[in-house]
Structure 1
């Protein structure tokens, strides 16, 4: 899951400066935008004084070094390293990691963007979000920081995984091991989502079945051992004592594989406790954002950082392919006229879907009724629907060329689904009726309001808390 592939606005995202240190070796710097400097209480006229290094690109020795930093001005660690210990991530032998790389380095920002586009899929590709590993793969950084004192990770095909024997600051990860971890993390996420759906389905069924006096069901645990343990944990069948938690944390650094085999429920339960706290913080942030009048870009950033919310809107397992994808161009990362906020795919079938993100303040109905008790959709709502449908049309026309030019062959356009996140649910009964009548007849574009997504997050939090407390489950 990588961030990037969108058109950059210097006023919103900041700019890049490329300096040639010597022939075929450049340093790339991030110059923050004025709004970020203002948020950080920094004089906006001194932007160049606060530029921060993002990249070293060395064509002669064929390596690329990323300097992960925080780029959001409203954060206390603005322009500081993103991670606690690791300061650099180097991709060695760039001709292997980037097939076709000829060693010639870019000397202009546009060329740097092309290089970022070619980063492996586990990396953030949009400089405006700070480069580094995408959020689902942060566990790789955590593991290196826990297992060593190294400040630089080097991903290479020439070394075995482990600290450098001569340079104590470097931790090598073989490309084979890196790919193995990436695929394993993706698989675990998919299994966890599948297990959660199975438990939710049976939970709803069993509550109703209990009232009707008919037999209850057990969740389908599947065959995979991880899915079985996720299903067990989601049901809240076992509490984890403080002693158990300490034992798991202490052993994770060197015995993660054996723990996963011998005590999988305890390992997953500890992770669940941590994620529940994170979810509650996310809900609080969502509520605060709903209380402000924020532009579309801020909401797009929010969903970029928390893509699982989009999964909930769909109800089936999705993986984000691109944000700000050029669905009408020759490549998803090109300059086509039709730009969708998010292009996602079903992780099981590869069928694609298009997401359009508006704002909570966007009107979804006209203020005056068309007739008594009947309200018509607003121009913003109908226009957004047509926008999504046009993006779908352009994408389906260009899909073959996009797949070929982007070399992204695991996406399909069998039945491209469109989802529009817009406005807030109306208050009046007539308005509610009119809105539901309209959207339930919108068969090609699924319409979801911002407050409905918030309610889904709250319900998920309640479900996880009930699963954590068997006494609440009986109430």
Structure 2
């Protein structure tokens, strides 16, 4: 077996470069330790502690797939921590880059949220699972409002239970709008039927399903109880003292828009006649999320500054 002289020379130079980089890395690490652990402690005004980014890794052995994935995750976390500790500096030195990074993070977060929402829509999940999703992603429910809102309580008691433990009126979400208004949001599931399967007056007049009419009655009852016991609620919950029970909006999130033309028409007529309760479907909420995602997509004309 023979190895070409040029190949040997190339390997020798590569070895020398690797050795030099290793020495430089060791020297830099020693300098950083002396700076941070000695000079920065003796004279902190003159020697500020160095914010070190993720150090370059020197490959000393072959990695398997698990080790590679672990190392890459560690590098990503180190990069995030480096940005977090230097946000103020980046805002002053590179505002355009920081703005683009912030926009990319928002788009990535929204895309992941939409993906999870779509995945959940394709499953037959219970109401409690949707309750947990909206508690974690309050932003999604806020799209049901035209004005800015703030979540005040989840699983709130509009009416307490009796001594026998019955009669409690528990709402899903209570929001505070900008100003004095409040809003109650009652959620069901995407599989909740909205219209009856059989026509009320054949062939094209359909009535609301009991699941929908029951949810509307339930949220109106919660509204009534909240108003009747407002002084008690405001006394027990300081966050509600800046609000009033004069205006309490009601929202029901349930089902999906009917596909059949006659059912869809009857559904639209019915929900537009509900002047005190707004009915929104799960797929309509998804459309709002997708519209926001499209709006956030960068265009060629987007120039940060």
Residues 397 and 268 of structure 1, relative CA distance in 2, 3 Å threshold: farther
Map 1:91-240; keep pairs closer than 5 Å: none
Aligned residue number for residue 215 of structure 1 = none
Is residue 449 of structure 1 aligned with residue 255 of structure 2? no
**Inter-partner Cα distance in structure 1 for 2:189 and 2:262:** 23
Q: Choose which of 166, 181, 205 in structure 2 pairs with 1:351.
A: 181
Contact 1:307 1:320 in 2 (8 A): yes
Give the structure with the higher percent strand: 1
User: Could you tell me how far 1:315 is from its partner in structure 2?
Assistant: 2.0
Q: Choose which of 239, 252, 271 in structure 2 pairs with 1:439.
A: 271
Aligned residue number for residue 58 of structure 2 = none
Residues 267 and 361 of structure 1, relative CA distance in 2, 3 Å threshold: same
User: Could you tell me how far 1:305 is from its partner in structure 2?
Assistant: 0.8
**Inter-partner Cα distance in structure 1 for 2:166 and 2:137:** 26
User: Could you tell me how far 1:412 is from its partner in structure 2?
Assistant: 2.3
Aligned residue number for residue 261 of structure 2 = 429
Aligned residue number for residue 101 of structure 2 = 270
Is residue 286 of structure 1 aligned with residue 117 of structure 2? yes
Aligned residue number for residue 151 of structure 2 = 320
Contact 1:248 1:267 in 2 (8 A): no
Residues 365 and 277 of structure 1, relative CA distance in 2, 3 Å threshold: same
Is residue 368 of structure 1 aligned with residue 211 of structure 2? no
- What is the DSSP-based 3-state SS (H/G/I as helix, E as strand, rest coil) of the residue aligned with 1:322? strand
**Unmatched segments (≥5 aa) in structure 1:** 1-164, 166-246
Aligned residue number for residue 463 of structure 1 = 295
Q: Choose which of 364, 387, 411 in structure 1 pairs with 2:243.
A: 411
- What is the DSSP-based 3-state SS (H/G/I as helix, E as strand, rest coil) of the residue aligned with 1:432? helix
CA RMSD of aligned residues (A): 2.7
**Inter-partner Cα distance in structure 2 for 1:353 and 1:307:** 14
**Inter-partner Cα distance in structure 1 for 2:97 and 2:179:** 32
Contact 1:327 1:336 in 2 (8 A): no
**Inter-partner Cα distance in structure 2 for 1:264 and 1:311:** 29
Contact 1:326 1:335 in 2 (8 A): no
Q: Would you say how many aligned residue pairs link Structure 1 and Structure 2? A: 221
User: Could you tell me how far 1:455 is from its partner in structure 2?
Assistant: 1.1
**Inter-partner Cα distance in structure 1 for 2:166 and 2:265:** 41
Contact 1:326 1:336 in 2 (8 A): no
**Inter-partner Cα distance in structure 2 for 1:275 and 1:335:** 44
Aligned residue number for residue 382 of structure 1 = 213
User: Could you state the TM-score of these two structures normalised by the residue count of structure 2?
Assistant: 0.66
Residues 382 and 248 of structure 1, relative CA distance in 2, 3 Å threshold: closer
